[in-house]
Structure 1
Amino acid sequence: MKSLWNEEEALLYTDPVSMRAYTSRLLGQSEDLVLHGGGNTSVKHTKKDIFGEPVETLFVKGSGHDLRTIRENGFSPTRLELLKRLAALDSLSDIDMMRELKSAQLDPAAPAPSVEALLHAIIPFKYVDHTHADSVVAISNTPNGPELIRSIYGERALILDYEMPGFLLSKQVHQATKDLNWEHCEAIILLHHGVFTFDDDAKRSYEKMIAIVSEAEDFLKAQKAWDAPVAKNGNCEVDAVELAGLRKAVMDKKGGPLVARFSSDRFVELPDLELATRGPITPDHVLHTKRIAMVCTGDHKADVEAYAQEYEAYFERNKEDDLVCLDKAPRWAVWKGKGRFVFAPNGKRLRVISDIIDHTTKAIQWGEVLGGWRALSEKEIFDLEYWELEQAKLKRKKAAGELEGTVALVTGAASGIGRATVNELLSAGACVVGVDLCDSVKDLATTPSYVGLVCDVRDSEAIKETLKSAVLHFGGVDILVSNAGIFPPSQKIEDLSDADWDLSMQVNLNAHFYLLRSAIPYLKHGHNPSVVFIGSKNVRAPGPGVSSYSVAKAGLNQLARVATMELAPYGIRVNSLHPDAVFDTGIWTDEVLEGRAAKYSMTVEDYKRRNLLKKPVSSDEVATAVRIFAGGSLSSSTGAHLSIDGGNERTV
């Protein structure tokens, strides 16, 4: 492992807290050290209170902040002496500890201090760094792990057995370090958990961490374990409809929507996939991945039921007091020769779990070379999963978005109604696949809940491949928004060429048929599946000069009506929106606007306000209607046709 310290960059940070934030970000840049909020850091510094009096303060990473991106405001300033006194108590519940930590804060607006704040407080150095280094923890997760760790570090590191984070861990370290000669101690290694390094200099504390972890990596290399993990991307393939069916089985057990992701991981080509059922790298990963993976056989319903029964038995074996069992659905699965699958409530968590499993499968294979992967005991992992602090977090969890866990696919997504719909569905919590002929569709959003795919919707084979890619990325399709379209220049029928007629039919009718036909197998496995067609006012009130557009939209209307009847037995709803006067879309070029206004002997401005309400309709208004039809509010509505046109005297 290489140090990322940059002397020139470090000169920019002139106070201890900004320097602490800088070296924390250096740690956070390596996923082999910390993943998605893991690890924590601190600095001890004197801060003046409101009376101008100096207060010895521990600035410790705040809850909810990520070392990869943390800034000064991500640290919680707490009274150091109070933390030391708390650590010296004989007993303290973790709930009481968190209350005392909150009361010790010097800034009530700061994030809650890390649960390991007491441990940071009792280490007598200015800077303290803590990571969950894969290599160190993986070595400890083997039959002879403690002995191997001691053989690597000797007396240079204080090596401690696993203890629950929080007060118990700080108490363990407090007791173990009473007679410790700190000057001869380079690190504290917590078996099955991670590494602490410390120094009065930020650079030295950071580089001690790099050195300690590098020694573990060198050991793995010497044992021929480092190169043992098979490549992440193998030749595994899974039928996308099969994945949608697997997701459906998991959702049914969860009792709500989940997104899913397929990975072509050669881990599933190993002889014994029972390896995936031996436990996580570190216990805190159980909060994301659950204790073990589900091993698939191909009978999805039976596999999920077996997993759920085992989870319930695990809960019954280990529960205490009045604990309530969490949901029994798996968070990841392996299928021999097929691939690896991850399930999550939203796009962000999907990425988190996927990254954790990448590191887990690698570490498991290291452990196998060293004598066998042996994670912590079932009871110790259970205690972390059902820890009172984690249970309290669940109670404080923000309400999920209306569409969280669902997957939407939107065509014509790069502009206008399509783009507005992408944003609206993302804001409601959905994972969204944007599809468009324009490359800019890839860059509509940076959230892990979005992916943009380039596709010519006139190509039925391209549509099939696009749907497959979407399903492999997010697990299925629950919401299909068929929006792509063109509005051709105004032409009388006698002047209309075959090519112009055919182009309108291809984009405004055929493409919608291709999309629906190819999406139906996925929608059958969807959660509250819904199709929303973007039609037009022209279905009921066509105008002169737009025969090819009006005929295509009328055909689309009939397609929607027939689909409503055919798909209702599968619980798939089909509804249509008929906008008009939506001039903030790509189809309304200056040329088209001028041509349509001329047909009615109007100015462009008068043409824009020709409806009963005398107002244009925005793409956002149409997108809102899409969200309402796609969500649960109208779950009994199918075959509906809603005008969003400001009112038209020809159709009222």
Structure 2
Amino acid sequence: MRRKVSAIRGTRSLAQLNFSTEARTFAKLTNVKEIATRGPITSDHLIRTKSVPAIIDPENPQRSLDEFSSAYKAYFERHTNGEQKCLDSAPRWAVWPGHGTIAFGANLTESGIVSDIAEHTVKAIQLAENLTAEGFSGGWQPVSEKHLFEAEYWVLQQAKLKSENVNQGEQKTISEFQGKIAIVSGAASGIGLACARELFAQGAVVVGLDLNPEISKIFCEPGMLGLQCDVTDQKAVIEAVAETVRQFGGIDILVLNAGTFPAGQTIEEMGEQTWSRSLEINLTAPQQLLQACVPFLKEGLDPAVVFMASRNVPAPGAGASAYSVPKAGLTQLARIAALELGKFGIRVNILHPDCVYDTGLWTPDALERSAKRYGLTVEQYKSRNILKIDVKAKEVARMVCAMSGAVFAKTTGAQIPIDGGSERVI
């Protein structure tokens, strides 16, 4: 539904689902289609929500939205004096009979306002109808359709929205991902947190998954939702994906970042638990999260998946088989996903970072030990690549955004290094 509304409106839209007791009760009324489409509470609501909501046919939601669009255009033609320009014909909210209501908006602010108005409208309609049921005259009675049109297309009403658009104009020009919904795993720290923040800064609403219970506090801004989730727990993953869809209406970007880096051990000395745990976190968990997201990515807006692999895939090191092998498997999974999902317009690409030192993994002691092993200073060790540079988490995040956006719009199945250049890879 969200994709269809976006197409009709001509801009990406979020969808906030309301399955509260009040919304469900309203949606279950046998006459909900008749009473919900009589009109809005006030003209101020009208310019936010249009005169009526769409009524979703569970058997054919797409047709319901097409019918709403056609009906809106006919409504305009019935009342225009020839001087007005027809607004877009997409609904701003909908009633899903038996389930609840849905609010649509180009961003979280707009969908939130529409959701609030829809909630108040539902309450007002039910209160008015209850009075009729108790023997009082009246019920839910809006003004005539002609008056609704005059209010919706009144110059001063439209000026309110135009003023808001002007104020938001600068932001719109830089927000590539406005109206898009992203999931980032392993998002409480390091590369994952950097990816989440960069996607959010570029306009996306972002859901971060992490085992860390502080994730909900870390993701504290409107438009950032932190969910504690063990990505190795399939049931928890499915629920996290469902919550994302309930909150925002779908999934457009998936960043498979969660992982673990086991302590270095040779194949001979490695314990079975080390091997199994790394496979579970670094390979099986991303597969499960991708699998749970695919049905929603198929309905996404220019959907993209980014796998966080490793420079260890093309250039493995001794003593790192527990890490390198799952990452190699992850890369192969991504390549197959690109082959399978391309027909649905889903792009799948792979990013191979080398060591990213401004993350929690690289403590001062760990850096000292690693540098000493190579006979280098810490600064020399951090820049032991062709370009002699230190790659930061934010720079990895910017590459993730590029791979999720217009720059990579025609690329899938690619493996991109971000390592300063490695002689072992080149």
Q: What TM-score do the two structures reach when normalised by structure 2? A: 0.91
Cα pair 2:47 2:158 within 8 Å, conserved: no
In structure 1, the partner of 2:134 is none
| Corresponding residue for residue 403 of structure 2 | 629
- Tell me which residue corresponds to 2:4: 249
Q: Report the 3-state secondary structure (helix = DSSP H, G, I; strand = E; otherwise coil) of the residue aligned with 1:348.
A: helix
Kindly indicate whether residue 307 of structure 2 is the aligned counterpart of residue 540 of structure 1. Answer: no
The equivalent of 1:366 in structure 2 is 127
Map of 2:251 onto structure 1: 477
Q: For 2:169, which of 398, 412, 424 is the aligned residue?
A: 398
Aligned counterpart, 2:37: 277
Q: Shift of residue 386 of structure 1? A: 2.2
Which residue of 101, 110, 113 maps to 1:340? 101
| SS of aligned partner of 1:297 | coil
- Indicate conservation of the 8 Å contact 1:490/1:596, yes or no: no
CA deviation digits over 1:192-232, x for unaligned, max 9?
xxxxxxxxxxxxxxxxxxxxxxxxxxxxxxxxxxxxxxxxx
Give the one of 502, 516, 520 matched to 2:290: 516
Deviation at 1:590, TM superposition (A): 4.3
Q: Give the Cα separation in 2 of the matches to 1:573 and 1:256.
A: 20
| Partner residue of 1:571 out of 327, 337, 345 | 345
Within 5 Å, which residues of 2 pair with 1:306-455?
Answer: 306-370=67-131, 371-392=138-159, 393-394=161-162, 396=166, 397-398=168-169, 400=172, 401-455=175-229
Secondary structure of the 2:214 match is: helix
Match of 1:208 in 2: none
Q: Distance in 2 between matches of 1:599 and 1:569?
A: 48
Partner AA of 2:203 in structure 1: G
CA distances 1:554-594 after superposition (whole Å, capped 9, x unpaired): 11111111111111111100011111131122333445434
SS state of the match for residue 439, structure 1? Answer: coil
Task: Kindly state the Cα deviation for residue 473 of structure 1 after the two structures are TM-superposed.
Answer: 0.8
| Shift in alpha-carbon separation, 1:591–1:504, aligned structure 2, 3 A | farther
What is the CA–CA distance in structure 2 between the aligned matches of 1:553 and 1:507, rounded to whole Å? 10
- How far 1:472 moved relative to its partner? 0.9
- State yes or no: 1:585 paired with 2:345: no
State the distance in 2 between where 1:595 and 1:320 align.
78
- Alpha-carbon distance in 2 for matches of 1:332, 1:531: 29
C-alpha distance after superposition, 1:102-141 (max 9, x if no partner): xxxxxxxxxxxxxxxxxxxxxxxxxxxxxxxxxxxxxxxx
How far apart, in 2, do the equivalents of 1:361 and 1:385 lie?
20
Q: 3-state DSSP class of the match of 2:385?
A: coil
C-alpha separation between the residues in 1 aligned to 2:285 and 2:149? 51
| Partners of 2:369 and 2:319 in 1: CA distance | 9
Amino acid at match of 2:44: D
Rate the CA distance shift 1:305–1:476 in 2: closer, same or farther, 3 A.
Answer: same
Taking a change above 3 Å as real, the CA distance of residues 328 and 497 of structure 1, as seen in their structure-2 partners, is: same
Deviation of residue 339 (structure 1)? 1.8
Match for residue 620 of structure 1?
394
**Alpha-carbon distance between aligned partners in 2 of 1:466 and 1:315, rounded to the nearest angstrom:** 42
Letter in 2 for 1:310: A
SS in 2 for 1:494: coil
Rounded Cα–Cα distance in structure 1 between residues aligned with 2:303 and 2:117: 30
Question: Corresponding residue for 1:263?
Answer: 18
Q: Which residue of the partner structure matches residue 84 of structure 1?
A: none
Secondary structure (helix, strand or coil) at the match of 1:398 reads helix
TM-aligned CA deviation for residue 644 of structure 1: 0.9
In structure 2, list runs of 5 or more residues that go unmatched.
132-137
Distance, in Å, in 2 between the alignment partners of 1:413 and 1:289 is 35
Task: Show the 5 A alignment for 1:195-206.
Answer: none
Hey, what's the Cα distance between the residues in 1 that align with 2:288 and 2:375? 38
- 1:533 deviates by 0.8
Cα deviation 1:482-519 (Å, max 9, x = unaligned): 11111122222222111111111111111111111111
Which residue of 2 is the match for residue 293 of structure 1? 53
> Could you tell me how far apart the structure 2 residues matched to 1:377 and 1:599 are?
81
Amino acid at match of 1:372: G
SS at match of 2:397: helix
Query: Judging changes above 3 Å, is the alpha-carbon distance between structure 1 residues 390 and 544 closer, same or farther for their aligned structure 2 residues?
Result: farther
Distance between the aligned counterparts of 2:295 and 2:364, measured in 1? Answer: 40
The RMSD of aligned alpha carbons is 1.7
Q: Which residue of 2 aligns with 1:526?
A: 300
DSSP 3-state at the match of 1:511: helix
Describe the SS at the equivalent of 1:538.
coil
Partner of 1:600: 374
SS at 2:417 equivalent: strand
Q: Is the 8 A contact 1:249 1:300 kept in 2?
A: no
> C-alpha offsets along residues 380-400 of structure 1, whole Å, 9 cap, x if unaligned?
332332232444443635152
- Using the alignment, how far apart are the partners of 1:398 and 1:384 within structure 2? 25
When the two structures are aligned, how many residues end up with a matched partner? 407
Query: Is the 8 Å Cα contact of residues 487 and 588 (structure 1) preserved in structure 2?
Result: no
User: SS of 1:481's equivalent?
Assistant: strand
After superposition, residues 225-236 of structure 1 pair within 5 angstroms as none
Please state whether the residue corresponding to 1:493 is helix, strand or coil: coil
Amino acid at match of 1:254: R
d(CA) in 2 for partners of 1:504 and 1:515?
16
Q: Which runs of 5+ in 1 are unaligned?
A: 1-245
Identity of aligned residues (%): 46
Give yes or no for contact 2:208–2:219 (8 Å, CA) kept in 1: no
CA distance in structure 1 between the partners assigned to 2:92 and 2:246 by the alignment: 16
TM-superposed deviation, 1:307: 0.5
1:333 aligned partner, one-letter code: A
Aligned equivalents of 1:461, 1:383: Cα separation in 2:
51
CA deviation digits over 1:626-645, x for unaligned, max 9?
11111223211111111111
Task: Report the equivalent of 1:302.
Answer: 63
Question: Higher relative contact order at CA 8 Å, sep ≥6: structure 1 or structure 2?
Answer: 2
Q: Conserved in 1, the CA contact under 8 Å of 2:190 and 2:393?
A: yes
TM-score, normalized by length of structure 1?
0.60
Whether the 8 Å contact between 1:490 and 1:592 is mirrored in structure 2 is: no
CA distance in 2, matches of 1:433, 1:606: 37
Q: Conserved in 2, the CA contact under 8 Å of 1:536 and 1:578?
A: yes
Displacement after TM superposition at 1:466 (Å): 0.9
Q: Hey, what does 1:28 align to over in structure 2? A: none
SS at match of 1:403: coil
Structure with larger Rg: 1
The answer on whether the counterparts of 2:177 and 2:202 sit within 8 Å (CA) in structure 1 is yes
In 1, the alpha carbon distance for the partners of 2:244 and 2:57 equals 24
The one-letter code matched in structure 2 to 1:422 is A
- Cα distance in 1, alignment partners of residues 303 and 323 from structure 2: 28
CA contact (8 A) 1:577 1:643 kept: yes
- Secondary structure (helix, strand or coil) at the match of 2:318 reads coil
1:462 aligns with 2:223: no
Q: Separation in 1 of the partners of 2:156 and 2:370? A: 64
